[in-house]
Structures are given as structure tokens and as C-alpha cells.
Amino acid sequence: MLISESALRIFTQNIFLAMGCSDEHAALSADVLIKADLRGIDSHGVARLVGYVRLWEKKRINTKPNITIVHQTPTTATVDGDAGLGLVVAPFAMRLAIEKAEKYGSGWVSVRNSNHFGIAGYHSLMAVEKDMIGFAMTNASPLVAPTFSNERLLGTNPMCYAFPAGKYPPVVVDMATSAAANGKLEIAQRSGKQVLEGWIQDADGKITTDPHALKSGGSLLPLGSDREHGSHKGFGLSATVDILSAVLSGANYGPWVPPFVSFLEPPSDPVGLGIGHFVGAMRVDGFRPVDEFKANMDNWISRFKSASTVDPNQKVIIPGEPELEAEADRTKNGIPIVDAVWDDLLGLAEKFDCRLSPY
């Protein structure tokens, strides 16, 4: 099913309005989700809308949050999201980081009491628009086992770094710190295919290629896959995201992070409030003139784009490039929605009496 950006945006806004969001929050939440669909990160777009609705129905998402700054210095702050949608809490935090950077050169905000914030790239790119370098990360419900363990203690905990360039588009490094994204497992589960060795282990910590192992107590592996290929580095990166996002803000961390799905209850012994994010912005001109930086970014990008490749038909991919190509294509030609998600959206259309029509 293909649907135009504008039709999907209006529908998504209307669902958020029906959940009780303000006009501003509904528009912003829809913008974050639609941006994911446009950029080809389908797992983080409107596919998640029904999940947000179910968590709201269980009163685990507050659609009228009073987002507050609970602690701050000129360049640092902790924000309490009041159990609001991460889709509005994270942009609030990033706007605050940008304001601080405008005055003092940089700004850093740790966030507690939030929910799933969509794609990290959305938030980092807010800084890039102001000729700043953007940082965004979030912890997430536990699916990943640390090196040597067979317990799920960490989320796929993404980190994102975004850099403005000149004639080229921004460089956007936006990555889960696990070897494989959970979305890839779900695709394999649906299609009945095996997955690669190095993505997951079973409940006993044995290597497996069965994508269903995750549902029977198995876990995703950190980036690096095993100790000899650096899984302790993936674990270390994931730990860094968890600490900056949650230990620093007072959110839940590690195995205490509440699940994103309504059919699993949050831990009964929380160590903090909701989930945590960490965002930051640094003014490029806090280090060197913007035009100099951009000229060197262009040279960097140009050199890597023209690198010799193993397969002459496969060029080196600059981080952020595939997402930008998807965005250009989907803005023009519409957003493809898989059947299962389309059925979910039709269900929401009926529940909330909102119009939904394909392209």
C-alpha cells in the first residue's frame, strides 16, 4: 500500500489529537513518526502508532504532560518528561540544548520519565539546522545480553551523531549498539527465515540462527557479536547510552527499563522514572568558522565517496545517505506501508473515526 506523506501526516496527527494531545504536540509527534517513514526507517514510523495508543490506554503514556526542567547549569540540564510521549519530550530537551549552545557554545540535556522517542536522527538534525553538531541517544527495554551473559540487561540503545556539511547533505551516524536491529529479527520471524550467526543467542547463551529464540528467552548480541570480534565494545557503547540517558537523569536503567509493549508490565521495583534520553548540541563556530568546517566536511565526504571499493558496483556509503535517498523518493512517490501495519492503521481509523485513504 502506498500513501502520500500529507495524507499519512494528517491521519497520524488526528490519532494523536484523539488521544488528547494538544495541537502542537500532535503535529510534532506526527512529524517525528512521518520523518522515520520518509527516511525508510519503517520500524520507527507509523508502524509504532498502535503501540503508542495501547500504552496510552493503559495510562502508561500521558498525552497532556507538564514537561519540566528539574535541575540545570548554564550548559547542562535534567528534564522530567512527566510520562509524556518521547516524540515531544525529546524535542523539548533538544530545543533547550540548542538554546544553551546559542548562549554558551554547547548544551547537554539528560531526560527522565519519558517514552520511546522515535528515530534519534530527528532530534540530532534539529541541531544541524542551526549549524550545530547534534547528539541524541536513548535507552530502551532490555533485549541485549552483555558479553559473557545470557541475561537481557540492555536495550538496543541507539546513539546518533549528526554533522552539517556544505554542498553535501549532513553526515548522520544513527545506529543501534546491537549487532542487528530487532526489526530484522521480526522480518525473519514473519518470513520463516533463519538469521545470521552473530545476531542472537538462545536462552542458554548458545549461538543460534532461529529468529524465534528471542521470544523464548534468547537475546540480541551487542555490536561485535562475540568477545573475539569486539562485543565488549558494543556492550561498552550500550552501557554509555544507558548511563548518560538514565543513571544521569534518574530514569530506569538496565533491566528496569519499562517495556514498550502494553502486554508486558513494567518492573514492579523501578529504580527511576520512565525511560531516559540524552541529547546535546555544540555550535560549529564554537570551534572554527562554519564555512571552513563545511568546506572540510565536503572534502571528507568527497574523499570517502570516491574511495576504491571491493565491488566496483558498490560504492562506500556515507552515513545518512541511504536515509536521504529514501526521503527524496518517498516525499515524491509516497510511503509504502506493509499489510500488517496498514491493518493496524485501519483499526485505529475505525476506533477513532478518522479518515485514512491510500495514495
Considering only residues 60 to 79 of the shown chain, the ones binding its own copies according to CB under 8 A are 71-78
Nearest approach, Cβ of residue 38 and its own copies (Å): 20
Backbone angles phi, psi at 72, to 5 degrees: -160, 160
Nearest approach, Cβ of residue 55 and its own copies (Å): 25
Q: List, in order, residues 6 or more apart from 205 with CB less than 8 Å away.
A: 145, 149, 150
Nearest approach, Cβ of residue 62 and its own copies (Å): 22
Whole-angstrom Cα distance, residue 238 to residue 320?
21
Identify the residue among 11, 52, 92, 253 touching its own copies (CB under 8 A).
253
Nearest approach, Cβ of residue 24 and its own copies (Å): 27
What's the N-to-C CA distance of the chain in angstroms?
8
Residue 130 found at the interface with its own copies (CB under 8 A): no
Identify the residue among 12, 110, 138, 141 touching its own copies (CB under 8 A).
110
Residue 349 found at the interface with its own copies (CB under 8 A): no
| CA-only gyration radius of the chain, Å | 20
Q: What angle do CA 52, 57, 58 make, to 5 degrees?
A: 100
Residue 92 found at the interface with its own copies (CB under 8 A): no
Q: List, in order, residues 6 or more apart from 146 with CB less than 8 Å away.
A: 153, 154, 222, 235, 239
**Helix (H/G/I), strand (E/B), else coil: 159:** strand
Residue 205 found at the interface with its own copies (CB under 8 A): yes
Cβ nearer to its own copies, comparing 52 with 235:
235
Binding map of its own copies across residues 298-337, x = CB under 8 A, - = no contact:
-xx--xx--xxxxx--xxxx-x------------------
Cβ nearer to its own copies, comparing 49 with 98:
98
Cβ nearer to its own copies, comparing 33 with 171:
171
Nearest approach, Cβ of residue 240 and its own copies (Å): 5
Nearest approach, Cβ of residue 340 and its own copies (Å): 25
Cβ nearer to its own copies, comparing 26 with 136:
136
Whole-angstrom Cα distance, residue 10 to residue 23?
12
Nearest approach, Cβ of residue 176 and its own copies (Å): 8
Identify the residue among 147, 189, 209, 262 touching its own copies (CB under 8 A).
147
Angle between helices 339-352 and 49-57 (to 10 degrees): 40
Residue in the structure block whose three cell numbers are 525529546: 90
Identify the residue among 120, 185, 214, 237 touching its own copies (CB under 8 A).
237
103: its cell numbers = 548562549
Cβ nearer to its own copies, comparing 161 with 260:
161
Cβ nearer to its own copies, comparing 56 with 199:
199
Q: What angle do CA 119, 121, 123 make, to 5 degrees?
A: 90
The helix or strand, by DSSP H or E, that contains position 344, with its residue range, turns out to be helix 339-352
Whole-angstrom Cα distance, residue 136 to residue 188?
29
Residue 266 found at the interface with its own copies (CB under 8 A): no
Q: List, in order, residues 6 or more apart from 210 with CB less than 8 Å away.
A: 194, 195, 202
Identify the residue among 239, 257, 273, 356 touching its own copies (CB under 8 A).
239
Identify the residue among 98, 136, 188, 247 touching its own copies (CB under 8 A).
247
**Count of residues engaged in binding its own copies, rule: CB under 8 A:** 87
Cβ nearer to its own copies, comparing 91 with 254:
254
β 76-80/106-114 pair status: parallel
| Residues recorded for the chain | 359
